[in-house]
């Protein structure tokens, strides 16, 4: 069973995904895509770590998600991926490509992103094991004012559509309440 869990920031999507994973098995591998970029992000990552069951295996993978999904799915464990949103940003603007000035403009790696996205979607379609995927809904607010933010929003929206279509079930979470979409 492949399950897609979508929601806004602080909607409860990660909590729902963790609950679904725990209901399926005690053998869970949580694949995290976040990178520590500053103290606030470090605190967020630590909070997620504290909330996870201590017996879950955790793999940190900011870029090569398809390989990790294929490898972990072969073990027979439940694979929980949290989250596609940070992964998209990591692939579009790989951490090594970022200039030292955080306000400087730099070009996204569109070709690399499309390669990683397509490989991930192929791995997702090929797996017959339990996979739960968390992603942010990014298309329900204002149109971003800059081109990079619009590119990110558009690419994330396309990925969400493709991932949801490849999954057997999908949920939208708002205010901690899940709505089953399919």
- Give the model confidence (pLDDT) of 12-50 as tens digits: 999 999 999 999 999 999 999 988 878 887 888 788 788
Contact 107, 92 (CB under 8 A): no
Contact assessment for residue 163 and residue 157, using Cβ atoms and an 8 Å cutoff: no
pLDDT at 102: 58
In percent, how much of the chain has pLDDT > 90? Answer: 73
Does 48 qualify as catalytic in the annotation?
A: yes
Average pLDDT of the residues of the chain: 91
pLDDT at 49: 80
Q: Which residue has the higher pLDDT, 98 or 132?
A: 132
pTM: 0.91
Average pLDDT (152-181) is: 97
User: Cβ distance 14 to 48 under 8 Å?
Assistant: yes
Question: How many domains does one find in the chain?
Answer: 1
The CATH number assigned to the domain holding 51 equals: 3.40.50.300
Selected catalytic residue, list 48, 55, 114, 129 = 48
Residue 12 is part of which domain span? 2-97+106-180
More confident residue, 144 or 88: 88
158: helix, coil or strand?
Answer: helix
pLDDT score for 101: 57
Q: Which band of pLDDT confidence, cut at 50, 70 and 90, is reported for residue 107?
A: confident
On the question of a cis peptide bond just before residue 122, with omega within 30 degrees of 0, the verdict is no
Which pLDDT score is estimated for 142?
Answer: 81
Extract long-range pairs of 156-159: CB within 8 Å, 24+ residues apart. 156/84, 156/85, 156/88, 159/84, 159/88, 159/117, 159/135
Q: Distance (Å, rounded) from C-alpha 156 to C-alpha 151?
A: 8
Q: Looking at residue 133, what is its pLDDT? A: 98
- Helix, strand, or coil (residue 129): coil
Please write the tens of the pLDDT for every residue from 45-73. Answer: 788 788 889 999 999 999 999 999 999 98
């Amino acid at each position: 069973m492949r399950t897609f869990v979508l929601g806004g920031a602080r909607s409860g999507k990660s909590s729902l995904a963790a609950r679904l994973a725990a209901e399926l098995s005690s053998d869970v591998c949580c694949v995290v895509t976040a990178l520590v970029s500053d103290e606030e992000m470090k605190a967020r990552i630590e909070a997620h770590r504290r909330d996870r069951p201590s017996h879950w295996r955790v793999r940190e993978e900011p870029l090569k998600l398809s390989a990790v999904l294929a490898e972990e799915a072969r073990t027979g464990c439940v694979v929980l991926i949290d989250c596609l949103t940070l992964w998209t940003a990591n692939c579009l603007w790989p951490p090594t490509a970022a200039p030292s000035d955080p306000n400087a403009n730099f070009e996204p790696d569109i070709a690399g992103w499309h390669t990683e996205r397509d490989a991930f979607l192929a791995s997702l379609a090929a797996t017959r094991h339990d996979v739960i995927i968390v992603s942010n809904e990014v298309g329900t607010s204002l149109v971003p004012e800059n081109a990079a933010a619009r590119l990110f929003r558009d690419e994330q929206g396309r990925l969400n559509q493709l991932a949801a279509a490849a999954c057997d079930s999908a949920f939208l979470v708002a205010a901690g309440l899940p709505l089953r979409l399919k």
